[in-house]
Chain A
Amino acid sequence: MNVLFRFISFISIFIISYSFAKPLAGVKVVLIRPHQADSINIDGFKCYLSNIVISDSNKKKDLNPSNYHLLDFTSSDTATLYLSPFANANLLEFNLGLDSIINTSGALGGQLDPSNGMYWTWQSGYINFKIEGKSPHSPARNHEFQFHAGGYAYPYNSLHSINLELRPNKSFHLEIDLALFFKMISLRDLNHVMSPGPNSMKISKALASCFKLIEDEK
Protein backbone atom coordinates (compact mmCIF):
# COMPACT_ATOMS: atom_id res chain seq x y z
CA MET A 1 0.00 0.00 0.00
CA ASN A 2 2.69 2.40 1.14
CA VAL A 3 4.91 1.49 -1.81
CA LEU A 4 2.03 2.05 -4.21
CA PHE A 5 1.36 5.45 -2.70
CA ARG A 6 5.01 6.45 -3.06
CA PHE A 7 5.02 5.25 -6.63
CA ILE A 8 1.92 7.33 -7.47
CA SER A 9 3.35 10.46 -5.89
CA PHE A 10 6.63 9.93 -7.74
CA ILE A 11 4.77 9.62 -11.05
CA SER A 12 2.63 12.67 -10.40
CA ILE A 13 5.64 14.80 -9.40
CA PHE A 14 7.35 13.61 -12.58
CA ILE A 15 4.32 14.56 -14.72
CA ILE A 16 3.92 17.95 -13.03
CA SER A 17 7.60 18.85 -13.37
CA TYR A 18 7.63 17.70 -17.00
CA SER A 19 4.65 19.85 -17.92
CA PHE A 20 6.30 22.89 -16.36
CA ALA A 21 9.69 22.08 -17.78
CA LYS A 22 9.29 24.20 -20.91
CA PRO A 23 11.72 27.04 -20.22
CA LEU A 24 10.64 30.63 -20.46
CA ALA A 25 12.74 33.26 -22.15
CA GLY A 26 13.19 36.49 -20.27
CA VAL A 27 12.66 39.57 -22.41
CA LYS A 28 14.13 42.72 -20.96
CA VAL A 29 11.81 45.74 -20.86
CA VAL A 30 13.56 49.09 -20.54
CA LEU A 31 11.95 52.35 -19.45
CA ILE A 32 13.23 55.39 -21.35
CA ARG A 33 12.82 58.50 -19.19
CA PRO A 34 12.21 62.00 -20.55
CA HIS A 35 15.36 63.95 -21.41
CA GLN A 36 16.84 66.01 -18.62
CA ALA A 37 16.16 69.21 -20.58
CA ASP A 38 12.42 68.41 -20.52
CA SER A 39 12.39 68.75 -16.68
CA ILE A 40 9.93 65.89 -16.23
CA ASN A 41 10.61 63.71 -13.24
CA ILE A 42 8.97 60.27 -13.15
CA ASP A 43 8.36 58.92 -9.61
CA GLY A 44 6.47 55.83 -10.60
CA PHE A 45 5.48 53.86 -13.65
CA LYS A 46 3.49 50.61 -13.64
CA CYS A 47 1.58 48.93 -16.43
CA TYR A 48 -0.31 45.78 -17.33
CA LEU A 49 0.57 43.91 -20.51
CA SER A 50 -1.78 41.09 -21.43
CA ASN A 51 -2.67 38.46 -24.05
CA ILE A 52 0.87 38.19 -25.33
CA VAL A 53 1.03 36.18 -28.57
CA ILE A 54 4.12 35.35 -30.61
CA SER A 55 3.66 34.16 -34.19
CA ASP A 56 5.85 33.18 -37.15
CA SER A 57 5.59 33.86 -40.88
CA ASN A 58 3.26 30.84 -41.30
CA LYS A 59 0.82 32.53 -38.88
CA LYS A 60 1.56 29.81 -36.37
CA LYS A 61 0.76 31.32 -33.00
CA ASP A 62 1.89 30.70 -29.49
CA LEU A 63 -0.24 32.03 -26.66
CA ASN A 64 1.93 32.57 -23.64
CA PRO A 65 1.12 30.65 -20.46
CA SER A 66 0.72 33.48 -17.98
CA ASN A 67 -1.00 36.17 -19.92
CA TYR A 68 -1.21 39.01 -17.46
CA HIS A 69 1.97 40.83 -16.60
CA LEU A 70 2.19 43.70 -14.16
CA LEU A 71 5.41 45.56 -14.92
CA ASP A 72 6.58 47.78 -12.08
CA PHE A 73 9.33 50.33 -12.71
CA THR A 74 9.11 52.00 -9.30
CA SER A 75 12.55 50.94 -8.13
CA SER A 76 14.28 50.05 -11.40
CA ASP A 77 14.26 51.17 -15.02
CA THR A 78 14.21 47.60 -16.27
CA ALA A 79 11.75 44.75 -15.85
CA THR A 80 11.59 41.26 -17.29
CA LEU A 81 8.78 39.76 -19.28
CA TYR A 82 8.80 35.95 -19.30
CA LEU A 83 7.65 34.52 -22.62
CA SER A 84 7.83 31.05 -24.08
CA PRO A 85 10.58 30.84 -26.68
CA PHE A 86 9.27 30.44 -30.21
CA ALA A 87 11.38 29.50 -33.22
CA ASN A 88 11.31 31.83 -36.24
CA ALA A 89 9.03 34.30 -34.49
CA ASN A 90 8.41 37.43 -36.54
CA LEU A 91 5.53 39.10 -34.74
CA LEU A 92 4.90 40.00 -31.11
CA GLU A 93 1.35 41.05 -30.23
CA PHE A 94 0.07 42.16 -26.86
CA ASN A 95 -2.41 44.46 -25.17
CA LEU A 96 -1.56 47.49 -23.12
CA GLY A 97 -4.04 46.96 -20.29
CA LEU A 98 -6.58 44.31 -19.35
CA ASP A 99 -9.66 43.26 -21.32
CA SER A 100 -13.31 43.50 -20.30
CA ILE A 101 -13.50 39.82 -19.30
CA ILE A 102 -10.80 40.30 -16.66
CA ASN A 103 -12.41 43.57 -15.61
CA THR A 104 -15.76 41.92 -14.90
CA SER A 105 -14.56 38.69 -13.27
CA GLY A 106 -14.71 39.79 -9.64
CA ALA A 107 -11.89 39.21 -7.15
CA LEU A 108 -8.79 37.71 -8.76
CA GLY A 109 -5.39 36.85 -7.34
CA GLY A 110 -1.69 37.00 -8.21
CA GLN A 111 -0.76 39.77 -10.66
CA LEU A 112 -4.45 40.71 -10.79
CA ASP A 113 -4.88 41.08 -7.01
CA PRO A 114 -6.65 44.40 -6.28
CA SER A 115 -4.17 44.93 -3.41
CA ASN A 116 -1.44 45.57 -6.03
CA GLY A 117 -2.82 49.11 -6.17
CA MET A 118 -3.85 48.82 -9.82
CA TYR A 119 -7.60 48.62 -9.19
CA TRP A 120 -10.19 51.38 -8.81
CA THR A 121 -12.30 50.79 -5.73
CA TRP A 122 -15.03 53.42 -6.26
CA GLN A 123 -15.80 52.07 -9.71
CA SER A 124 -14.95 48.49 -10.65
CA GLY A 125 -12.07 48.17 -13.04
CA TYR A 126 -8.33 47.83 -13.36
CA ILE A 127 -5.93 50.71 -13.85
CA ASN A 128 -4.10 49.73 -17.05
CA PHE A 129 -1.14 51.95 -16.27
CA LYS A 130 0.04 54.59 -13.83
CA ILE A 131 2.54 57.34 -14.61
CA GLU A 132 3.25 59.70 -11.73
CA GLY A 133 5.78 62.43 -11.12
CA LYS A 134 6.58 66.13 -10.98
CA SER A 135 7.39 68.78 -13.52
CA PRO A 136 7.49 72.60 -13.53
CA HIS A 137 5.26 72.34 -16.63
CA SER A 138 2.39 71.05 -14.51
CA PRO A 139 0.30 73.88 -13.04
CA ALA A 140 -1.25 71.47 -10.50
CA ARG A 141 -0.52 71.48 -6.77
CA ASN A 142 3.20 70.84 -6.06
CA HIS A 143 3.70 70.66 -9.85
CA GLU A 144 2.56 67.07 -9.71
CA PHE A 145 1.10 64.98 -12.45
CA GLN A 146 -0.78 61.73 -12.01
CA PHE A 147 -1.99 59.60 -14.88
CA HIS A 148 -4.13 56.58 -13.99
CA ALA A 149 -5.57 55.14 -17.19
CA GLY A 150 -8.21 52.47 -17.56
CA GLY A 151 -11.76 51.77 -18.65
CA TYR A 152 -13.07 48.65 -20.33
CA ALA A 153 -16.64 49.58 -21.24
CA TYR A 154 -17.97 51.17 -24.43
CA PRO A 155 -17.43 53.95 -25.45
CA TYR A 156 -14.46 54.53 -23.17
CA ASN A 157 -12.53 51.31 -23.67
CA SER A 158 -8.90 52.29 -23.31
CA LEU A 159 -7.35 48.90 -24.07
CA HIS A 160 -4.81 49.06 -26.89
CA SER A 161 -3.49 46.24 -29.00
CA ILE A 162 0.16 46.58 -29.97
CA ASN A 163 1.84 44.67 -32.83
CA LEU A 164 5.60 44.71 -33.14
CA GLU A 165 7.48 43.01 -35.96
CA LEU A 166 10.70 41.21 -35.23
CA ARG A 167 13.38 39.58 -37.34
CA PRO A 168 13.46 35.79 -36.79
CA ASN A 169 16.18 34.44 -34.53
CA LYS A 170 17.36 37.86 -33.41
CA SER A 171 17.46 38.63 -29.74
CA PHE A 172 15.62 41.77 -28.78
CA HIS A 173 14.36 43.87 -25.91
CA LEU A 174 11.33 46.12 -25.46
CA GLU A 175 11.52 49.82 -24.83
CA ILE A 176 8.80 52.03 -23.36
CA ASP A 177 9.71 55.53 -24.43
CA LEU A 178 8.21 58.01 -21.96
CA ALA A 179 10.19 60.85 -23.57
CA LEU A 180 8.00 60.29 -26.61
CA PHE A 181 4.86 60.08 -24.42
CA PHE A 182 5.48 63.54 -22.99
CA LYS A 183 6.00 64.95 -26.49
CA MET A 184 2.36 63.93 -27.19
CA ILE A 185 0.86 64.98 -23.85
CA SER A 186 1.12 68.58 -22.72
CA LEU A 187 1.34 68.71 -18.93
CA ARG A 188 0.09 72.26 -18.98
CA ASP A 189 -3.26 71.08 -20.40
CA LEU A 190 -3.50 67.61 -18.92
CA ASN A 191 -1.85 66.61 -15.66
CA HIS A 192 -4.40 64.50 -13.77
CA VAL A 193 -6.34 61.55 -15.15
CA MET A 194 -7.98 59.37 -12.51
CA SER A 195 -10.96 57.72 -14.16
CA PRO A 196 -12.17 56.10 -17.39
CA GLY A 197 -13.26 58.56 -20.07
CA PRO A 198 -11.95 60.57 -23.05
CA ASN A 199 -8.71 61.60 -21.28
CA SER A 200 -7.96 58.05 -20.26
CA MET A 201 -8.39 57.02 -23.90
CA LYS A 202 -6.13 59.83 -25.06
CA ILE A 203 -3.20 58.97 -22.79
CA SER A 204 -3.65 55.23 -23.48
CA LYS A 205 -3.38 55.82 -27.20
CA ALA A 206 -0.27 57.93 -26.63
CA LEU A 207 1.45 55.34 -24.43
CA ALA A 208 0.57 52.51 -26.83
CA SER A 209 2.65 54.24 -29.49
CA CYS A 210 5.67 54.38 -27.17
CA PHE A 211 6.44 50.64 -27.26
CA LYS A 212 9.43 49.78 -29.46
CA LEU A 213 11.20 46.58 -30.23
CA ILE A 214 14.97 47.00 -30.25
CA GLU A 215 17.33 44.35 -31.61
CA ASP A 216 20.17 43.58 -29.26
CA GLU A 217 23.59 44.31 -30.65
CA LYS A 218 25.85 41.31 -30.75
Chain B
Amino acid sequence: MKSKTVLLFLLLLCIAFVSVEKNTFKYPKYFPKPVYQFENNQINDLKIELGRTLFYDPILSLDNTISCASCHNPYNAFAHVDHNLSHGINDKIGNRNAPVLFNLAWHKTFMWDGAINHLDVQALAPISHPDEMGESISNVLLKLNRNQIYKQLFYQAYGDSLINTERTLKSISQFLLSLISSNSKYDSMLLGKIQFNTQEQNGYRLFKLHCNSCHKEPLFSTFEFKNNGLTIDTSLNDYGRYRVSLMPNDSLKFKVPSLRNIEFSYPYMHDGRFKTLAQVMNHYNSIDLNNKKISTELKRNLNLSSNEKVDIIAFLRTLTDKKFLFDSKHTYPKNK
Protein backbone atom coordinates (compact mmCIF):
# COMPACT_ATOMS: atom_id res chain seq x y z
CA MET B 1 0.00 0.00 0.00
CA LYS B 2 2.69 2.41 1.12
CA SER B 3 4.96 1.66 -1.84
CA LYS B 4 2.03 2.24 -4.20
CA THR B 5 1.45 5.67 -2.64
CA VAL B 6 5.13 6.54 -3.03
CA LEU B 7 5.02 5.37 -6.67
CA LEU B 8 1.92 7.45 -7.33
CA PHE B 9 3.58 10.46 -5.75
CA LEU B 10 6.68 10.03 -7.93
CA LEU B 11 4.54 9.63 -11.02
CA LEU B 12 2.66 12.86 -10.23
CA LEU B 13 5.97 14.62 -9.68
CA CYS B 14 7.21 13.45 -13.08
CA ILE B 15 4.01 14.63 -14.77
CA ALA B 16 4.38 17.98 -13.04
CA PHE B 17 7.95 18.35 -14.31
CA VAL B 18 7.08 17.25 -17.82
CA SER B 19 4.20 19.73 -18.02
CA VAL B 20 6.35 22.58 -16.69
CA GLU B 21 8.99 21.75 -19.28
CA LYS B 22 6.38 21.59 -22.03
CA ASN B 23 4.62 24.82 -21.14
CA THR B 24 7.40 27.33 -20.74
CA PHE B 25 7.76 30.22 -23.13
CA LYS B 26 10.98 29.66 -25.08
CA TYR B 27 13.01 32.28 -26.89
CA PRO B 28 16.67 32.81 -27.86
CA LYS B 29 19.13 34.04 -25.22
CA TYR B 30 19.94 37.14 -27.29
CA PHE B 31 16.30 38.32 -27.25
CA PRO B 32 15.42 40.86 -24.53
CA LYS B 33 12.98 40.04 -21.71
CA PRO B 34 9.39 39.80 -23.00
CA VAL B 35 6.95 42.61 -22.18
CA TYR B 36 3.95 40.26 -21.90
CA GLN B 37 3.19 39.22 -18.32
CA PHE B 38 2.90 35.47 -18.47
CA GLU B 39 1.92 35.08 -14.82
CA ASN B 40 -1.61 36.23 -15.75
CA ASN B 41 -1.91 33.84 -18.70
CA GLN B 42 0.43 30.91 -18.30
CA ILE B 43 1.41 29.19 -21.49
CA ASN B 44 -0.32 25.87 -21.97
CA ASP B 45 -0.43 23.71 -25.11
CA LEU B 46 -4.17 23.08 -24.88
CA LYS B 47 -4.88 26.82 -24.63
CA ILE B 48 -2.57 27.50 -27.59
CA GLU B 49 -4.49 24.90 -29.60
CA LEU B 50 -7.83 26.46 -28.58
CA GLY B 51 -6.51 29.89 -29.58
CA ARG B 52 -5.36 28.46 -32.91
CA THR B 53 -8.85 27.04 -33.56
CA LEU B 54 -10.40 30.45 -32.77
CA PHE B 55 -7.83 32.23 -34.96
CA TYR B 56 -8.82 30.18 -38.02
CA ASP B 57 -12.58 30.20 -37.33
CA PRO B 58 -14.90 32.68 -39.13
CA ILE B 59 -17.34 32.22 -36.21
CA LEU B 60 -15.73 35.41 -34.85
CA SER B 61 -17.34 37.50 -37.63
CA LEU B 62 -20.96 38.68 -37.98
CA ASP B 63 -21.83 36.50 -40.99
CA ASN B 64 -19.32 33.71 -40.24
CA THR B 65 -17.20 34.49 -43.31
CA ILE B 66 -14.06 36.22 -42.02
CA SER B 67 -11.51 34.72 -39.63
CA CYS B 68 -8.34 36.29 -38.24
CA ALA B 69 -6.47 34.22 -40.83
CA SER B 70 -8.41 35.89 -43.66
CA CYS B 71 -5.99 38.83 -43.36
CA HIS B 72 -3.18 37.11 -41.42
CA ASN B 73 -1.81 34.30 -43.56
CA PRO B 74 0.83 32.02 -41.95
CA TYR B 75 2.85 31.73 -45.18
CA ASN B 76 3.30 35.52 -45.23
CA ALA B 77 4.38 35.80 -41.61
CA PHE B 78 0.66 36.37 -40.88
CA ALA B 79 0.40 39.46 -43.07
CA HIS B 80 -2.04 39.79 -45.99
CA VAL B 81 -0.17 39.09 -49.19
CA ASP B 82 -0.96 41.25 -52.23
CA HIS B 83 -3.58 43.30 -50.35
CA ASN B 84 -2.60 46.82 -49.40
CA LEU B 85 -5.62 47.22 -47.10
CA SER B 86 -7.34 44.60 -44.96
CA HIS B 87 -10.61 42.98 -46.02
CA GLY B 88 -13.80 42.42 -44.05
CA ILE B 89 -17.34 41.07 -44.20
CA ASN B 90 -19.42 41.85 -47.32
CA ASP B 91 -16.23 42.64 -49.26
CA LYS B 92 -15.65 45.76 -47.19
CA ILE B 93 -12.17 47.27 -47.30
CA GLY B 94 -10.45 48.48 -44.14
CA ASN B 95 -8.09 51.42 -43.91
CA ARG B 96 -4.78 49.79 -42.97
CA ASN B 97 -2.40 47.09 -44.14
CA ALA B 98 -2.69 43.96 -41.96
CA PRO B 99 0.55 43.73 -39.94
CA VAL B 100 2.75 40.66 -39.49
CA LEU B 101 2.16 38.55 -36.38
CA PHE B 102 5.18 37.12 -34.59
CA ASN B 103 7.31 37.85 -31.53
CA LEU B 104 4.28 39.68 -30.10
CA ALA B 105 5.37 39.10 -26.49
CA TRP B 106 7.85 41.95 -27.01
CA HIS B 107 5.33 44.54 -28.22
CA LYS B 108 4.29 47.31 -25.81
CA THR B 109 1.29 48.33 -27.94
CA PHE B 110 -0.55 46.93 -30.95
CA MET B 111 -1.87 48.28 -34.28
CA TRP B 112 -0.05 50.78 -36.51
CA ASP B 113 -1.08 53.59 -34.15
CA GLY B 114 -0.67 51.69 -30.86
CA ALA B 115 -4.38 52.13 -30.07
CA ILE B 116 -4.41 48.77 -28.32
CA ASN B 117 -2.49 48.62 -25.05
CA HIS B 118 -2.44 44.88 -24.29
CA LEU B 119 -2.28 41.72 -26.41
CA ASP B 120 -5.25 40.22 -24.55
CA VAL B 121 -7.65 42.92 -25.77
CA GLN B 122 -6.22 43.18 -29.30
CA ALA B 123 -8.71 40.74 -30.86
CA LEU B 124 -11.66 42.92 -29.73
CA ALA B 125 -10.67 45.53 -32.32
CA PRO B 126 -10.98 43.47 -35.55
CA ILE B 127 -13.97 41.53 -34.11
CA SER B 128 -15.89 44.79 -33.52
CA HIS B 129 -14.69 46.86 -36.50
CA PRO B 130 -17.59 47.32 -38.99
CA ASP B 131 -15.19 46.96 -41.95
CA GLU B 132 -13.51 43.85 -40.58
CA MET B 133 -15.54 41.23 -38.66
CA GLY B 134 -18.46 43.53 -37.75
CA GLU B 135 -19.36 41.41 -34.73
CA SER B 136 -19.63 41.99 -30.96
CA ILE B 137 -17.79 39.96 -28.34
CA SER B 138 -21.09 39.23 -26.54
CA ASN B 139 -22.54 37.67 -29.70
CA VAL B 140 -19.31 35.71 -30.30
CA LEU B 141 -19.73 34.28 -26.79
CA LEU B 142 -23.34 33.27 -27.58
CA LYS B 143 -22.20 31.47 -30.74
CA LEU B 144 -19.28 29.74 -29.00
CA ASN B 145 -21.50 28.64 -26.12
CA ARG B 146 -23.89 26.96 -28.59
CA ASN B 147 -21.03 25.05 -30.19
CA GLN B 148 -20.28 21.58 -28.77
CA ILE B 149 -16.73 21.50 -30.19
CA TYR B 150 -15.84 24.70 -28.35
CA LYS B 151 -17.53 23.47 -25.15
CA GLN B 152 -15.14 20.53 -25.32
CA LEU B 153 -12.05 22.58 -26.23
CA PHE B 154 -12.65 25.03 -23.37
CA TYR B 155 -13.24 22.10 -21.02
CA GLN B 156 -9.91 20.56 -22.05
CA ALA B 157 -8.05 23.84 -21.73
CA TYR B 158 -9.60 25.28 -18.56
CA GLY B 159 -11.01 22.29 -16.65
CA ASP B 160 -14.64 23.32 -17.19
CA SER B 161 -16.68 24.30 -20.22
CA LEU B 162 -17.33 27.91 -19.20
CA ILE B 163 -16.79 30.15 -22.24
CA ASN B 164 -16.34 33.82 -21.34
CA THR B 165 -14.60 36.92 -22.72
CA GLU B 166 -11.46 36.55 -20.64
CA ARG B 167 -10.85 32.90 -21.59
CA THR B 168 -11.64 33.48 -25.26
CA LEU B 169 -9.31 36.47 -25.57
CA LYS B 170 -6.51 34.93 -23.49
CA SER B 171 -6.62 31.76 -25.60
CA ILE B 172 -6.20 33.81 -28.77
CA SER B 173 -3.24 35.52 -27.04
CA GLN B 174 -1.74 32.11 -26.25
CA PHE B 175 -1.71 31.16 -29.93
CA LEU B 176 -0.31 34.56 -30.92
CA LEU B 177 2.42 34.30 -28.27
CA SER B 178 3.41 30.89 -29.63
CA LEU B 179 4.32 32.54 -32.96
CA ILE B 180 8.02 33.08 -32.44
CA SER B 181 10.28 33.75 -35.37
CA SER B 182 13.94 33.23 -34.47
CA ASN B 183 15.28 30.73 -37.00
CA SER B 184 16.42 32.92 -39.86
CA LYS B 185 19.82 32.89 -41.54
CA TYR B 186 20.57 36.03 -39.47
CA ASP B 187 19.92 34.03 -36.28
CA SER B 188 22.22 31.23 -37.44
CA MET B 189 24.88 33.84 -38.19
CA LEU B 190 24.49 35.32 -34.68
CA LEU B 191 24.89 31.86 -33.18
CA GLY B 192 28.03 31.33 -35.27
CA LYS B 193 26.52 28.40 -37.18
CA ILE B 194 26.95 29.99 -40.61
CA GLN B 195 28.59 33.04 -42.15
CA PHE B 196 27.06 35.72 -44.37
CA ASN B 197 28.31 35.98 -47.94
CA THR B 198 30.10 39.19 -48.99
CA GLN B 199 26.94 40.87 -50.24
CA GLU B 200 24.92 40.04 -47.09
CA GLN B 201 27.86 41.12 -44.94
CA ASN B 202 28.02 44.48 -46.70
CA GLY B 203 24.21 44.85 -46.47
CA TYR B 204 24.41 44.12 -42.72
CA ARG B 205 27.11 46.78 -42.30
CA LEU B 206 24.98 49.36 -44.16
CA PHE B 207 21.89 48.28 -42.23
CA LYS B 208 23.65 48.90 -38.90
CA LEU B 209 24.74 52.29 -40.20
CA HIS B 210 21.40 53.52 -41.58
CA CYS B 211 18.45 51.43 -40.31
CA ASN B 212 19.28 49.91 -36.94
CA SER B 213 18.28 52.90 -34.77
CA CYS B 214 14.57 52.27 -35.48
CA HIS B 215 14.65 48.67 -36.74
CA LYS B 216 16.76 47.60 -33.79
CA GLU B 217 18.27 44.12 -33.58
CA PRO B 218 17.47 41.39 -32.70
CA LEU B 219 13.70 42.03 -32.96
CA PHE B 220 14.31 44.55 -35.77
CA SER B 221 12.11 47.23 -34.22
CA THR B 222 11.99 49.51 -31.21
CA PHE B 223 8.17 49.37 -31.60
CA GLU B 224 8.09 53.14 -31.18
CA PHE B 225 6.12 55.61 -33.32
CA LYS B 226 7.97 57.47 -36.07
CA ASN B 227 7.21 59.73 -39.00
CA ASN B 228 9.10 58.13 -41.88
CA GLY B 229 8.30 60.83 -44.39
CA LEU B 230 5.43 59.21 -46.26
CA THR B 231 3.00 61.79 -47.64
CA ILE B 232 -0.61 61.44 -46.57
CA ASP B 233 -2.93 59.35 -48.74
CA THR B 234 -5.91 61.73 -49.05
CA SER B 235 -8.28 58.85 -49.79
CA LEU B 236 -7.60 57.55 -46.26
CA ASN B 237 -6.54 60.63 -44.26
CA ASP B 238 -4.83 58.41 -41.73
CA TYR B 239 -2.85 60.49 -39.23
CA GLY B 240 -1.60 57.45 -37.32
CA ARG B 241 -0.65 57.89 -33.68
CA TYR B 242 -2.33 61.31 -33.57
CA ARG B 243 -5.77 59.69 -33.53
CA VAL B 244 -4.88 57.98 -30.26
CA SER B 245 -2.79 60.59 -28.44
CA LEU B 246 -4.40 63.77 -29.90
CA MET B 247 -0.90 65.31 -29.69
CA PRO B 248 -0.07 67.38 -32.81
CA ASN B 249 3.52 66.07 -32.65
CA ASP B 250 2.23 62.54 -33.23
CA SER B 251 0.66 63.40 -36.56
CA LEU B 252 1.65 60.88 -39.27
CA LYS B 253 3.62 58.75 -36.83
CA PHE B 254 3.20 55.00 -37.19
CA LYS B 255 4.61 52.09 -35.24
CA VAL B 256 7.96 50.83 -36.56
CA PRO B 257 7.34 47.28 -37.83
CA SER B 258 9.77 44.39 -37.38
CA LEU B 259 11.76 43.53 -40.50
CA ARG B 260 11.91 39.83 -39.79
CA ASN B 261 10.33 37.88 -42.70
CA ILE B 262 10.05 41.14 -44.66
CA GLU B 263 10.74 39.27 -47.92
CA PHE B 264 7.34 37.54 -47.55
CA SER B 265 5.17 40.23 -45.96
CA TYR B 266 4.66 42.57 -48.93
CA PRO B 267 3.07 45.03 -49.61
CA TYR B 268 4.82 47.44 -47.25
CA MET B 269 3.95 50.45 -45.01
CA HIS B 270 0.75 51.13 -43.01
CA ASP B 271 -1.27 51.53 -46.19
CA GLY B 272 0.60 48.94 -48.23
CA ARG B 273 1.68 51.54 -50.78
CA PHE B 274 4.97 49.83 -51.73
CA LYS B 275 4.95 46.45 -53.43
CA THR B 276 8.67 45.75 -53.44
CA LEU B 277 11.63 46.22 -51.13
CA ALA B 278 13.34 48.16 -53.93
CA GLN B 279 10.55 50.77 -53.72
CA VAL B 280 11.03 50.94 -49.94
CA MET B 281 14.78 51.45 -50.38
CA ASN B 282 14.13 54.20 -52.92
CA HIS B 283 11.78 55.95 -50.50
CA TYR B 284 14.41 56.06 -47.73
CA ASN B 285 17.08 57.05 -50.21
CA SER B 286 15.10 60.11 -51.38
CA ILE B 287 13.78 61.58 -48.11
CA ASP B 288 12.63 65.20 -48.34
CA LEU B 289 15.03 66.89 -45.92
CA ASN B 290 12.83 70.02 -45.84
CA ASN B 291 10.10 68.00 -44.09
CA LYS B 292 10.36 69.24 -40.50
CA LYS B 293 8.02 66.59 -39.10
CA ILE B 294 10.18 63.67 -40.14
CA SER B 295 11.87 61.60 -37.41
CA THR B 296 15.38 62.78 -36.49
CA GLU B 297 16.90 59.42 -37.45
CA LEU B 298 15.94 60.08 -41.08
CA LYS B 299 17.13 63.69 -41.32
CA ARG B 300 20.14 62.97 -43.48
CA ASN B 301 20.90 61.99 -47.00
CA LEU B 302 21.64 58.28 -47.28
CA ASN B 303 23.17 58.58 -50.78
CA LEU B 304 22.98 54.84 -51.29
CA SER B 305 24.25 53.52 -54.63
CA SER B 306 22.15 50.92 -56.46
CA ASN B 307 24.63 48.23 -55.42
CA GLU B 308 24.34 49.28 -51.81
CA LYS B 309 20.54 49.16 -51.98
CA VAL B 310 20.74 45.65 -53.43
CA ASP B 311 23.16 44.62 -50.66
CA ILE B 312 20.79 45.87 -47.95
CA ILE B 313 17.95 43.90 -49.55
CA ALA B 314 20.21 40.82 -49.64
CA PHE B 315 20.74 41.28 -45.90
CA LEU B 316 16.98 41.75 -45.33
CA ARG B 317 16.43 38.37 -47.03
CA THR B 318 18.56 36.75 -44.33
CA LEU B 319 15.72 37.68 -41.94
CA THR B 320 13.43 35.17 -43.65
CA ASP B 321 12.55 32.34 -41.28
CA LYS B 322 11.32 29.43 -43.43
CA LYS B 323 10.91 27.20 -40.38
CA PHE B 324 8.48 29.78 -38.97
CA LEU B 325 6.67 30.41 -42.27
CA PHE B 326 5.99 26.74 -42.88
CA ASP B 327 5.61 25.51 -39.30
CA SER B 328 2.70 23.02 -39.23
CA LYS B 329 1.89 24.14 -35.67
CA HIS B 330 0.85 27.54 -37.01
CA THR B 331 -1.38 26.48 -39.88
CA TYR B 332 -5.08 25.61 -40.09
CA PRO B 333 -5.83 23.28 -37.16
CA LYS B 334 -6.30 19.59 -37.87
CA ASN B 335 -9.26 19.15 -35.50
CA LYS B 336 -11.53 21.31 -37.65
Instruction: State the A residues within 8 Å of B (CB).
Output: 103-109, 113-115, 117, 119, 121-125, 153, 156, 196-197
In the assembled complex, which residues on chain B have CB atoms less than 8 Å from the CB atom of A124?
115-118, 121
Give the secondary structure class of B's interface: helix
Per-residue interface assignment for chain B, residues 124 to 143, with 1 indicating a CB less than 8 Å from any chain A CB and 0 otherwise: 11011100000011100100
Task: Knowing A107-B121, A121-B125 are in contact, say whether A114-B244 is a contact too (CB < 8 A).
Answer: no
Q: Is B246 an interface residue, CB under 8 A from the partner?
A: yes
Q: Please state if A197 and B246 are interface contacts (CB–CB under 8 Å).
A: yes
A106, A125, A196: the one contacting B119 at CB < 8 Å is A106
Q: Please state if A104 and B118 are interface contacts (CB–CB under 8 Å).
A: yes
Can you list 22 pairs linking A and B with CB atoms under 8 Å apart? A105-B118, A106-B41, A106-B169, A106-B170, A107-B169, A107-B173, A109-B165, A113-B164, A113-B165, A114-B121, A114-B124, A115-B136, A115-B137, A115-B138, A115-B141, A117-B138, A121-B124, A121-B128, A153-B245, A156-B246, A196-B246, A197-B246
Question: How far apart are the CA atoms of A109 and B165 in the complex, in Å?
Answer: 7
Q: Is B40 an interface residue, CB under 8 A from the partner?
A: yes
In the assembled complex, which residues on chain A have CB atoms less than 8 Å from the CB atom of B271?
none
Per-residue interface assignment for chain B, residues 158 to 173, with 1 indicating a CB less than 8 Å from any chain A CB and 0 otherwise: 0000001110011001
Q: Please state if A121 and B127 are interface contacts (CB–CB under 8 Å).
A: yes
In the assembled complex, which residues on chain A have CB atoms less than 8 Å from the CB atom of B124?
114, 119, 121
Task: Knowing A114-B124, A115-B141, A121-B127 are in contact, say whether A104-B166 is a contact too (CB < 8 A).
Answer: no
- The smallest C-beta distance from A204 to any residue of chain B, in angstroms, reads 16
Q: Please state if B170 and A107 are interface contacts (CB–CB under 8 Å).
A: yes
List B residues 83-138 near A (Cβ within 8 Å). 115-121, 124-125, 127-129, 136-138
Q: A105-B118, A106-B169 are in contact. List 19 more A-B contacts (CB 8 A).
A: A104-B117, A106-B41, A106-B118, A106-B119, A106-B120, A106-B121, A106-B170, A107-B121, A107-B173, A113-B165, A113-B166, A115-B136, A115-B137, A115-B165, A122-B125, A123-B115, A124-B115, A124-B117, A156-B246
In the assembled complex, which residues on chain B have CB atoms less than 8 Å from the CB atom of A105?
40, 118
Q: Please state if B244 and A123 are interface contacts (CB–CB under 8 Å).
A: yes
In the assembled complex, which residues on chain A have CB atoms less than 8 Å from the CB atom of B164?
109, 113, 115
Question: How far apart are the CA atoms of A112 and B328 in the complex, in Å?
Answer: 36
In the assembled complex, which residues on chain B have CB atoms less than 8 Å from the CB atom of A125?
117
In the assembled complex, which residues on chain B have CB atoms less than 8 Å from the CB atom of A119?
121, 124
In the assembled complex, which residues on chain B have CB atoms less than 8 Å from the CB atom of A123?
115-116, 244
Question: How far apart are the CA atoms of A125 and B120 in the complex, in Å?
Answer: 12
Closest 4 CB pairs of A and B: A106-B120, A121-B128, A106-B118, A124-B117
- The smallest C-beta distance from A203 to any residue of chain B, in angstroms, reads 16
In the assembled complex, which residues on chain B have CB atoms less than 8 Å from the CB atom of A197?
246
Q: Please state if A122 and B121 are interface contacts (CB–CB under 8 Å).
A: no
Q: Please state if A107 and B127 are interface contacts (CB–CB under 8 Å).
A: no
For B119, the closest partner residue in chain A by CB is A106
- The smallest C-beta distance from B107 to any residue of chain A, in angstroms, reads 13
In the assembled complex, which residues on chain A have CB atoms less than 8 Å from the CB atom of B125?
121-122
Question: How far apart are the CA atoms of A113 and B138 in the complex, in Å?
Answer: 10
Question: How far apart are the CA atoms of A156 and B128 in the complex, in Å?
Answer: 24
Task: Knowing A107-B121, A197-B246 are in contact, say whether A121-B166 is a contact too (CB < 8 A).
Answer: no
Question: How far apart are the CA atoms of A121 and B127 in the complex, in Å?
Answer: 9
List B residues 52-79 near A (Cβ within 8 Å). none
- The smallest C-beta distance from A151 to any residue of chain B, in angstroms, reads 10
For B120, the closest partner residue in chain A by CB is A106
